[in-house]
Chain A
Amino acid sequence: MRNAFSNALVTAAEANDRILLLTGDHGYALFDDFRHRCPGQYINAGIAEQNMIGVAAGLAKSGFHPVVYALSAFVPIRVLEQIKLDICCEELPVLFIGDGAGVVYSTLGVSHQSTEDIAALRAVPQVRILSPGDAHEMKAAMELAFATPAPIYLRMGKSDLGVVHTSPPQLAWGRLLSVRSGSGPLVFIATGSMLNLAVTLAQEWPGSAVWSAPSLKPLEIESVVSACSPHRVVVTLEEHNIIGGLGGAVAEILSQEHPLPVCRIGVPDQYSELCGSYAYLMREHGLDLDSVRVKVQAFTKKHPIT
């Protein structure tokens, strides 16, 4: 997925010298290719994220298309106010890349983990949020982002979980993406790193449908309702706090438009307590396959599907 990101970025920047990459002194190996092929379009803004967002605003106002790269723990969380006032209030074309979203930096602790970024940005008017689920979605998401002159946050989470699609899908703002069709009682909607697990888990409930949510904002009412209405229980999956993310967005729509029980799978409202591998922390937060299976089973007992 990181290769797909890097390739898409280099391809876009080579074709358009108005694209400038700003990094907050992050991306050590990730940008080797970019620095080699587009050296004049690379700006290391130093370990100073607040200023970096303001500089991106100034560059966007003077005709450039800045891409701001940082860990998602810092952009958007550390600089939420700069994103709101300097970028979004003026609807400036700035693409934010939040890398390491979720608990990717499992051994580094809470400072480098990001499970609140979607919730924080969903309440900021004008910003769009992309959360690709595999390398093919990443390529399509980058192309969609560069074709859209607006504030966009692209959330890049755990990147080595394998692909779900066989080729880059056609993405559209606000639309869920069908991964597996089915008319059974369950529908799974997953975003980012949880897409792969959703596809695996759904096989245990024959006939289940699986959708990916690469566009978290906007998220169209019609798309969510048409994906969910043929089913009796909705399961959402995300590597993000269960408050304010994909599950929250789906529940908000369904509660008004087509009430259905929504089982929100995500990080409970808590911080990572201990150090450990990515797999360890995913277990700690109940996001490994076994834990999610148990949660879905319990939910379907409470809300029978037969």
Chain B
Amino acid sequence: MSAIPATYASTNLRRTILRMAYSGSTVHIACAFSLVEILAVLYRQHLCLGTGPKDPERDYLILSKGHGVMAQYACLHELGWLNEKHIQGYCTDGTPLKGLSDADVPGLEVNSGSLGHGLSVGVGLAYGALRRGTTQKVYAILGDGECNEGSIWEALLFAAHFKLTNLLVIVDANGFQAMGPTTEVMDTGSLEDKFRAFGFEACTIDGHDENVLNETIGRLMASSFPGPRAIIARTSKGKGVSFMEGRNLWHYSRLTEKNYQDALAELEMVEAGRGGVRL
């Protein structure tokens, strides 16, 4: 286990993501940054992980948008399920952490990267938990771009039909997909309206406000609504580093020494301003 208690401070998580991306010379930084606060709140305040990644009674966190996996690695690092060697050796020869979610990694529940898979697996886990009469919850994180996939809507139908009250879908709605803004590539319109129409209790919130995230997740999971729940979390792709924010280029770009240092410096400033916690 980690010697330092996990705080899931967002600047710490983003710093870990930057370290991984720089040492591994990898892409998908911006889509990891957009879901940092969502993951931080889930890990810090909601997930019951029991005795470890294989505990059959654990809550399930499904990262269906597997491209943001570095944000989850950063959380698992704080949790102590991944170590410093994992972070520093990210994406180097013969190492286990891949650039997309892989169920072989302790703490990752699904193989993702091909989009539209994770939610169905999560729906199966939620159905299984209800069937076994456990209190387990399933939190499934989707991308708004991922909602182009037809299998997502198949899964939503199933979740509503079978009244999966233990399922919370969180859409990391950063407004971008691979080739541009979602409104230009494949406009999904109001996701909240669509989730409601499919039989979900749904709301739209600021996906970077940890207090609002925490309160909303708690409220939805405690509600007596007889079906699944969803949060459309409005986020900013690349959140936390000014030259990445809202720039889809950082779905693909790799860090140079200079912009790595610039990004770290920005996080330092944010931290100094807010009195955050250093790793």
Contacts and interface: CB of A to CB of B under 8 A. Distances in A.
Of A46, A53, A54, A64, most buried by chain B (CB within 10 Å of CB) is: A54
Interface stretch (A78-86, A193-201, A219-227, A251-259): A78-86
A57 B116 contact: no
Nearest to B123: A55
Contact of A50 (B110, B128, B131, B151): B151
A54 B126 CA distance: 12
Nearest to A90: B103
Contact of A55 (B103, B110, B118, B124): B124
A46 B125 contact: no
Contacts of A62: 56, 124-125, 128-129, 132
Given A51-B151, A86-B117, A86-B120, A46 B158 contact: yes
B125 A89 contact: no
B157 interface: yes
A58 B167 CA distance: 13
B5 interface: no
Interface in B13-51: none
Task: Give the bracket for the number of chain A residues in contact with chain B.
Answer: 20 to 34
Interface in A79-102: 81-82, 85-86, 89-90
A18 to B, nearest CB: 10
Interface string A27-54: 0000000000000000001101011111
Chain A's interface: helix, strand, loop or mixed, by majority?
helix
Contact of A58 (B56, B128, B151): B128
Given A57-B124, A58-B123, 10 more contacts: A46-B157, A50-B116, A51-B120, A54-B124, A57-B120, A58-B126, A61-B109, A64-B128, A81-B114, A90-B103
30 contacts: A46-B154, A46-B161, A48-B151, A48-B158, A51-B154, A51-B155, A52-B120, A53-B120, A54-B118, A54-B119, A54-B120, A54-B121, A54-B124, A54-B151, A55-B155, A56-B124, A57-B124, A58-B120, A58-B126, A58-B128, A61-B128, A62-B125, A62-B128, A62-B132, A63-B56, A63-B128, A82-B151, A85-B117, A89-B103, A90-B103
- Enumerate the 3 nearest inter-chain pairs by beta-carbon distance, A residue then B residue, closest first: A58-B124, A54-B120, A62-B128
Interface of B: 56, 103, 109-111, 114, 116-129, 131-132, 150-151, 154-155, 157-158, 161
Interface of A: 45-46, 48, 50-64, 81-82, 85-86, 89-90
